Chain A
Amino acid sequence: MLNPKKLKKDFPLLGQNLTYLDNASTTQKPRQVIAALKNYYENFNANIHRGIYKISEQATAAYEQTREHTAKFIGAHHAEEIIFTRNTTESINLVARTWGEENIKAGDEIIVSAMEHHSNLVPWQELTKRKKAKLKIIPLKDNYTLDFKEFKKILTPKTKLLAISAMSNVLGTIPPVKEMIREAKKIGAVTLVDGAQSAAHGITSVQDLDCDFFAFSGHKMLGPTGVGILYARKKILEKMPPFLHGGDMVKSVSQFSAEWNDLPWKFEAGTPNIADVIAFNEALKYLENIGMEEIAKHDQKLLKFAKEKFSKHPQITLYSPKKDSGGILSFTIKDIHPHDIAQIFDSENICIRSGHHCCQPLMEKLKIPATARLSFYFYNTQEDIEKAEKALTKTIKTFR
C-alpha cells in the first residue's frame, strides 16, 4: 500500500502548510521532476535532432527516451505512435485538423458524450460545422452515468468518429469506454479517447482499449506544464497529413515543395518543448514506482471517505455516480455560490476548484452554474479531507 505522508515529502510545495485538492486541474511536482529540468538546463541544454556535438546528442537521446517510455506507459507498440504536443487540447485539435479534415464529409456523424470537457467538444463542433457533418451527444442519466442504450441507438453507419472522455473531470464518472469502442468498431468508426484524467489515475493500455487515438497531458501526472501527448495508431498516422509545417517535420525541402519527415517527427514542427518532455520522463518513473493500480485504489479510498464526510451535511448535494468514479468529487451547498465556497476553503489554505470546469453544457444539464470540486492524488491523506470538511462547516456557518 502506498504511503501518502511519505510521498508528500517529495513535493516541496506540499510541505508548506498547503492542502492541495485540485489535482484534476494540475498536480504538484516532485523534486525529481524539478531536478530534471534544472539538470537539462545546467548540463546539456541544446537543440535536438540537429547537432553533431555531444550535448545535442545527449538532449536528443533524453527526449526520445521519454517518447519510448511514454509508449510503454500506455501500452503502445511503437514509440513513433507517440506525438508530443502542448496539452490534451492540442492533441485533440491535431486530430480534428488533420485526420478530421481529410476524413469527415458532409452527412457524416461524430459522437461525443454530455460530459466532455470543452477540449473534446469544441474541436468537433467546429469540424462538423466546417464539413456540414452532424455532432451527436450521448446523454447523461440522472445517476451521473452515460446512457449506454442511447449510445447504441445513435451509433449508425454514418458515425465516423467516437470521441469520448475516459473519466469526467467534473463527475469523476468512468464510462465503459472499452465496450463503447468495441461497439463503434463494429460499424467501422474511428475512436478517440480523452485520457486527460484517466491516464493519471490508473493503468492505461491503448492495446486493451483498442482505440485509434488517445490524448493526455503530462502536467496532470506530475510532469511540467506544456507537455501534451497524442497516441495514434501507426496505420492511421501514416495516412494523416501534417498538422503544422516548418522545421524538423521535413525530410528535404526545395524552393517550391517539401517532403515530410518520418513518424513521429512529421507531427512535431519546430523546436519542441525539450526540457519539459525530458523532465516528464521522471514523472513517469515516479508514477511507475508507486504503481498506477495503487494510485487508483488510493483514489477510491479517499473518494469513499470524502463522500461519507460530506454527505453528513444536509445542505450538500454531491454530483457523483454510485460506482465507477475516479477520485473527483463535485458538490454544491444550498444557497452558497461555489466561488464563495472555494474562497472560504482558501482562507484555510485548502485549494479546491470552483466554476464550470470547462464543462458548460454539463452544468446546463445539471441545472447549476457551477460546482465546487475536490480532486485527489496519491499524496492526499484522510487528514486532508478532514481539513476540507472543517472548511465546509466554516463555509456553512459563515453564510448561515
Chain B
Amino acid sequence: MDIYSEIILDYFKNPRNRGKLPRATIQAQEYNPLCGDKITIYLLLDKNGKIKKAAFNGEGCAISQASASMLTEKIIGKTIPQITKITNEEIIKMLHITISPARIKCAILGLITAKKAAITHKYAKN
C-alpha cells in the first residue's frame, strides 16, 4: 500500500492531540538526529494510573508526526506498564502501511518517546 495513505495524510494534516498538555503527569522528548524529527509526548494519568489524556508536539516528517498523533489516541485508558510493553510491530500495524526499513525509525519515534516518559513514572516498576 502507498506509504502516504489517506489515513497518514489525514493525521499529518489534521493532527489529533497536537499541542502541549497542561498539568501533564509526565512528559518526555526524543529526537532523531539523523532526520531532525522531534517529538514531545505528554501524558496525564487518572488516579488509577491510567492514561486519561495524551498529547504530542513536534516537527518532522509525515510518518513521524502522524504516527505520534495516532499513538496519543491508542494509549488512552492504558496503564504505564502497558505502554512500556507496546511493540514496534503494533505501531506499524496501527499505521496500516508498508514501511521500508529506512523509515521505521520515523514510525516508532512517538512510541520511543512515550516509553521514555513512561519509565520515569513510579508505576513503571510494577
Contacts and interface: CB of A to CB of B under 8 A. Distances in A.
Interface of A: 336-337, 339-340, 343-344, 347, 355-356, 360, 363, 368-370, 398-399
B13 interface: yes
Interface of B: 2-4, 9, 12-13, 33-37, 60-63, 103, 106
Contacts of A398: 4, 9
A370 B35 contact: yes
A271 B9 CA distance: 52
B93 to A, nearest CB: 20
Contacts of A355: 34-35
A370 B106 CA distance: 14
Nearest to A395: B4
B62 A340 contact: yes
A399 B14 CA distance: 11
A355 B105 CA distance: 14
Given A337-B61, A340-B61, A398-B9, A356 B103 contact: no
B9 A337 contact: no
A337 B34 contact: no
The 10 closest A-B pairs by CB, nearest first: A369-B36, A337-B61, A339-B61, A340-B62, A340-B61, A370-B36, A398-B4, A339-B35, A337-B60, A343-B3
Given A370-B36, A399-B12, 13 more contacts: A337-B36, A337-B60, A339-B103, A340-B4, A340-B61, A340-B62, A343-B103, A347-B3, A356-B36, A368-B36, A369-B60, A370-B35, A399-B9
B61 A344 contact: no
A344 B35 contact: no
B4 A356 contact: no
B29 to A, nearest CB: 15
A38 B105 CA distance: 38
A198 B55 CA distance: 48
B34 A344 contact: no
A218 B61 CA distance: 33
Nearest to A341: B61
A343 B62 CA distance: 11
B9 A347 contact: no
Nearest to A343: B3
A347 B34 CA distance: 22
Nearest to B36: A369
A350 to B, nearest CB: 15
A339 B13 CA distance: 16
A360 B34 CA distance: 9
A182 B108 CA distance: 51
A339 B61 CA distance: 7
Contacts of B12: 399
Contacts of A344: 4
24 contacts: A336-B62, A337-B37, A337-B60, A337-B62, A339-B35, A340-B4, A340-B61, A343-B3, A343-B4, A347-B3, A355-B34, A355-B35, A356-B34, A360-B33, A363-B36, A368-B36, A369-B35, A369-B37, A398-B4, A398-B9, A399-B9, A399-B12, A399-B13, A399-B62
A142 B78 CA distance: 50
